[in-house]
Structure 1
């Protein structure tokens, strides 16, 4: 009998505000980074009126991280110091490698006053933190989808492989083997996902799912993140139609020092990032 993963830790999302007054749910950020490695942050942005969106996310810097922005409803406009101006639409996503430095803005583009999406921060391995910035925008139609008997799975980042299925997203990160999935499960459905990395987490954004371990069945409710054990398939059931995000990858097991938008490996590197930003060298 194949082994399945079990829940070892749960985190409830908390209300937060970021940017210019944008209301959101912050699921994971700051320590303990070891629990989430190689992921650093997960935010859920869900709004039914423009007031919740405040003034969006005006220009701000980053160094040392990758951001993955996935939109379910609505989109956003990205602009940066290099003159890029990009729009990500309903159902699309953007991957950004900030590398040594990016200054950008992200302004919400609601659809009939509604917006729903997620942003993930993914750590960059030490040797690549000062690399050149990179981007990739992916339209909804270009995100591969795996149709299952009891649901469907969109592969946003990375790849899913088993004996019958090989699905690869446009974005693949070899250093962390990062995987990000947007999964929907039908009422009274059952899914088994072949996730092979040691770190696996799920965040439920709609409904409720049950994680079926070898010796336990643990419910994970809406607005909760579950950190799972390190080996086995990911088996889930649901008594109602539900949606959830899967984050998986291999830990970097490197020191993590974070201060605001900068994530490096030492206090000295963080101090240098702030000096570079103040003196105009962050994006030089």
Structure 2
């Protein structure tokens, strides 16, 4: 089903984050950026005031597996210049702890046994995002303190685990949402009888109105109409 890929299409007002686990995709956009998404790589694209891009498969058979996250931009940054980061697998640090927990750090930071935070290649973004790929051995517990006030998402990839103080069951392709307050939220995840792999994604809430239409995410209906007009007029 992926052979058709995603031919040229526009975006405005947010960022797309594509994380490949298997398969290969080729990125191209109208700003001259080109990238090869290989297993373990990340593409962090800031559409901002407007970009037209395509993502086309570089294979005709075999597994194509990955995630794409849309990260909203605050009103003050929605009309910034577009940007593109093509992050190869070797640029993403992996932290291994003595208890067997492994963390690939895409954005934000994660501390190992020595307490020193390891910084991912993506930082200084408006929403202060954290993006971690976590693997926990069978029966082990993963504790992590989120930045104060951040909303936290946990998305299951492989294996089963329990999340939070209520030990809610989390299976692959399911997601748990934890909303933090002024105090930092402590995330606890315990793997079941087999190892568990999951994404931990966190970001600062914007507390702004959201207006969305297709590939555009703005703050008002008028801004959406302007986005459509600008795209149709070739101003992206």
Q: Same fold (TM over 0.5)?
A: yes
Correspondence for 2:187 among 224, 234, 254: 234
Change (3 A) 1:72 1:274: same
- Calculate the aligned-residue CA RMSD, in Å: 1.7
Give the Cα–Cα distance (whole angstroms) in 1 for the partners of residues 20 and 64 of structure 2. Answer: 8
In structure 2, the residue matched to 1:30 is: none
1: distance between equivalents of 2:60 and 2:190? 31
Q: Which position in structure 2 is the counterpart of 1:194?
A: 145
Q: Distance in 2 between matches of 1:195 and 1:165?
A: 16
Query: TM-score, structure 2 length as denominator?
Result: 0.91
Q: In structure 2, what is the Cα distance between the partners aligned to 1:117 and 1:265?
A: 29
1:220 aligns with 2:170: yes
Deviation at 1:205, TM superposition (A): 1.7
Higher relative contact order by CA 8 Å / sep ≥ 6: 1 or 2?
A: 1
> Partners of 1:210 and 1:85 in 2: how far apart?
40
Q: Of residues 127, 130, 154 in structure 2, which corresponds to 1:176? A: 127
Query: What do residues 107-163 of structure 1 show as CA deviations (whole Å, max 9, x unaligned)?
Result: 123496111110000001101111111111111111011112232111111223587
Relative to the length of structure 1, the TM-score reads 0.76
Per mean C-alpha deviation after superposition, the further-off stretch among 70-79 and 263-272 is 70-79
Q: Classify the secondary structure of the residue corresponding to 2:103.
A: strand
Q: How many residues align?
A: 229
Which residue does the alignment assign to 1:160? 110
Asked if residue 206 in structure 1 is aligned to residue 158 in structure 2, the reply is yes
Large movers: runs of 4+ above 6 Å: none
Q: Which residue of the partner structure matches residue 93 of structure 2?
A: 144
Counterparts of 2:33 and 2:195, CA distance in 1? 39
Give the CA deviation at 1:229.
Answer: 4.1
Query: What is the DSSP-based 3-state SS (H/G/I as helix, E as strand, rest coil) of the residue aligned with 2:225?
Result: helix
